[in-house]
Structure formats: C-alpha cells, structure tokens
C-alpha cells in the first residue's frame, strides 16, 4: 500500500495517538506487580496481554512491524499480527510492552512501555539485531552523519547549537563496546553521561533542553532505534541508524524483512517515511524521561508522554489516575 494514500488524516492521527496513551498506561499498570521480582517473562507477559487487549478496541487496521518476535516465537504482538476493530486507518505499529525488562525485574530505573506508529508501510521493519545510532534534538537536525567520525559530528552539532565542543554532553550506554566512543568524547574535553540499560529515553531527551543532553550515540537494539526515531521525528529532532548483522543468518533476516543493503546508513526519513506518525510511552519504574507507576491505596498513578508529527505537531506529558 502506498503510504501517501490519504487514509490516515491529521484528525485521525491525534485521535489514534490519544487512544494509544490508554494502551500504554494499561500495559504499564499490568506490569507493575512484577517490579523487583526477577521474573522478566511474567512481567512481559502481563504487559503484552494488557496491551493487545486494549489495542483491539481501537478502530484501526494495524499491523505489528516490530513486536515480541516472529509468529513462532510469540503468542501475542508478533511481527505481522493484525490488530484493531478492522474499521479505520491502516497503520504500522512498533511496540515494546516492557522496554527494560532486566532493570524492571531488579527494581531498577528506566523501564517503560513504548508504542510508535504511522501509516501502513511507513516504518522500517528492523530485525532484532544491533544498530549503530546517533540522535539529536531539533536544533541540530541535519547536522549529523553516521558516515563520519564522532569527532566530526560533535563539531557539527556544537556549531548548530552555538556551543564549544567542550560544552557538549554526549549520552552513551556503559558497555565495553563503547570504550572508544567514550574516550573520543573525553579527549575532546566534552562530558559523557553514561547509562546502563534502555536507550529510548536518552534519545528522546536530546529534544528537550531541560535534560541537558546534546547527543546520544552508540550501539543498541535496532527495534528500539526505530521507535526512538519515530519519537524524534514527531519532536522535530534527527536520528540516523546503521544495522550491524553479525552473521549470515542475521543478513538473511534483513533480506527477509526487505532490507537488501543492511550496511547502509539510514537517515530519519528512511526509517520513518511519513510525517504523520506518533509515539507514546508510560513509565513503569522511575527514569530519565518519565516517573514510574505509583500505587496509593486503591489507585494507580501513571506518567506518560505523547508525541504526534504531521502539520499539527505536538507533545504532552500526561499524569493519570486509575
């Protein structure tokens, strides 16, 4: 289906995105009882079931393009599964009911529920493998290039932001594979901000001055890269990614999902091929971007973000009670 087909209108987009906030909230609340119990599968299962059930109440023809795995790996929210009432716009949906299952299972920070969507055919079908990533906010849009060195990119971003290179703060996952990147930042006199798990909040944080993060760089999950790219497109930021298949099996997975040249650098408009996209997330545990679910007496408090692209771009943080 041609993504330019006028099926998803601007009015539809905002309405659908708001309905997905409820989806995200219900998945996060369903996962809450499993925080700190070291039972990742149970937590993920609870969030997945709640998410799928609520998604089926929405008037849409949605297809999961990034989800819990292939059909033979996941009973729900598997890649290719079609959800919704069957009435309404045709959508691509990328989901992770519990992004950060490991920190959540240990009672640690930065786990959240995430959903991204756009018109059918608009989202890159990224296989579950590693991806090189670079993310920046709106002021540095158009000033990044993964084909160049981190040093070159930092100089470019600094110029866009009206800063000295040494004034930049670069967010990087604390992993041995990033040692060279970390040293490159420090050798330029800039600051690093290391994190342990879950890179989606850090990528999104580059779009907000309050977090004082100028760039996110490093290697992480490709599905998470597509979801973060969608959020940044809605927010006016920028993102580039490059898949890293480590063996022939992973190369074949790329081809199976329509990616003939996995080594190429994907620009934001190649990862998310429509401006009419949306992203929503709800915190499960406290994190950089969102507060986690809180239970007070018989009520739950949730903290979510909604971002919508298109001609009427907007974002909002939402606090809700159940």
CATH code for the domain in which residue 98 is found: 3.30.540.10
Instruction: Tell whether the model's pLDDT for residue 320 goes beyond 50.
Output: yes
Does residue 138 share a domain with residue 26?
Answer: no
- How many CB atoms are located within 10 Å of the residue 13 CB? 25
Q: What is the pLDDT of residue 2?
A: 43
Q: Is the pLDDT of residue 157 over 80?
A: yes
189 found inside a domain: yes
> Predicted confidence band at 72 (pLDDT cuts at 50, 70, 90)?
low
| Residue-wise pLDDT tens digits, 90-108 | 999 999 999 999 999 999 9
Calculate mean pLDDT across residues 129-153: 97
Write down the pTM of the prediction.
Answer: 0.95
Are 264 and 142 contained in the same domain? yes
pLDDT band at 73 (very low <50, low <70, confident <90, very high): confident
Neighbours of 110 (CB within 10 A): 25
pLDDT value of residue 5: 41
Confirm if 93 and 20 have CB atoms less than 8 A apart: no
Q: Which residues are annotated as a binding site for Mn(2+)?
A: 44, 68, 96, 99, 224
Which of 1-15, 60-74, 226-240 reaches the highest mean pLDDT?
A: 226-240
* pLDDT for the residue 39: 95
Query: Is residue 22's pLDDT more than 80?
Result: yes
Pair 160, 229 in one domain = yes
| C-alpha closest to that of 284 among 76, 33, 37 | 33
Looking at the structure, do residues 81 and 166 belong to the same domain, yes or no? no
Q: pLDDT category, 240, cuts 50, 70, 90?
A: very high
Flag whether 5 is in a domain. Answer: no
Distance, in Å, from the CA atom of 102 to the CA atom of 104, rounded to the nearest integer, reads: 5
Confidence band, pLDDT 50/70/90 cuts, at residue 1: very low
Question: Are the beta carbons of 320 and 304 closer than 8 angstroms?
Answer: yes
Q: Say if residue 7's pLDDT is above 80.
A: no
| Binding site per annotation, positions for substrate | 99-101, 130, 175-177, 197-199, 221
pLDDT value at 41 more than 60: yes
Instruction: Specify binding-site residues.
Output: 44, 68, 96, 99-101, 130, 175-177, 197-199, 221, 224
Residue 297 main-chain phi, psi, to 5 deg: 50, -115
Residue at 192 is within a domain? yes
Tell me, yes or no, whether 96 and 190 share the same domain.
no
Same domain, 177 and 56: no
Residue 171 has pLDDT above 60, yes or no: yes
Same domain, 281 and 265: no
Do 201 and 139 have their domain in common? yes
Say which residues have a Cβ less than 8 Å from residue 174's Cβ, sequence separation at least 6. 194, 195, 196
What is the domain count for the chain? 2
**Residue burial 215-251, b: 16+ Cβ < 10 Å; e: rest:** bbbbbbbbbbbbbbbbbbbbbebbbbbbbebeeeebb
Q: Which of 17, 225, 247 is nearest to 119 (CA)?
A: 17
What range defines the domain where residue 154 resides? Answer: 130-271
Overall average pLDDT of the 148-169 stretch: 98
Are 138 and 192 part of one and the same domain?
A: yes
Query: Which CATH number do you get for residue 248?
Result: 3.40.190.90
**Mean pLDDT calculated for residue range 242-267:** 85
Query: Which of 75-82's residues contact partners 24+ apart within 8 Å by CB, and which partners?
Result: 76/48, 76/49, 76/52, 77/48, 77/51, 77/52, 79/125
Q: Give the pLDDT of residue 283.
A: 98
Asked if 114 and 144 sit in the same domain, the reply is: no
């Amino acid at each position: 289906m041609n993504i330019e087909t006028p099926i998803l209108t601007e009015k539809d987009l905002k309405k659908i995105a708001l309905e997905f906030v409820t989806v995200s909230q219900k998945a996060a609340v369903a996962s809450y009882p499993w925080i700190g119990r070291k039972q990742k599968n149970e937590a993920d299962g609870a969030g997945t079931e709640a998410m799928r059930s609520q998604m089926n109440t929405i008037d849409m023809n949605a297809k999961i393009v990034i989800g819990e795995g292939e059909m033979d790996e996941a009973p729900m929210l598997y890649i290719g599964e079609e959800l919704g009432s069957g009435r309404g716009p045709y959508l691509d949906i990328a989901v992770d009911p519990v992004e950060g299952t490991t920190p959540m299972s240990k009672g640690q920070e930065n786990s959240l529920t995430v959903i991204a969507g756009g018109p059918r055919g608009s989202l890159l079908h990224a296989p579950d493998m590693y991806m090189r990533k670079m993310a920046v906010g709106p002021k540095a849009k158009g000033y990044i290039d993964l084909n160049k060195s981190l040093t070159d990119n930092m100089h470019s971003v600094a110029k866009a932001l009206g800063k000295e290179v040494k004034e930049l703060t670069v967010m990087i996952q604390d992993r041995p594979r990033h040692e060279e990147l970390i040293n490159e930042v420090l050798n330029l006199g800039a600051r690093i901000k290391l994190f342990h798990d879950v890179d989606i909040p850090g990528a999104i944080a580059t779009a907000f001055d309050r977090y004082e993060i100028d760039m996110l760089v490093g290697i992480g999950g490709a599905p998470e890269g597509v979801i973060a790219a969608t959020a940044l497109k809605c927010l006016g930021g920028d993102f580039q990614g490059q898949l890293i298949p480590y063996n022939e099996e992973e190369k074949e997975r790329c081809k199976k999902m329509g990616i003939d040249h996995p080594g190429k650098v994907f620009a934001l408009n190649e990862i998310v091929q429509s401006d009419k996209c949306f992203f929503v997330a709800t915190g499960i545990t406290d994190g950089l971007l969102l507060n986690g679910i809180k239970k007070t007496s018989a009520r739950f408090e949730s903290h979510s973000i909604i971002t919508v692209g298109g001609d009427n771009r907007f974002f909002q943080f939402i606090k809700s009670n159940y």
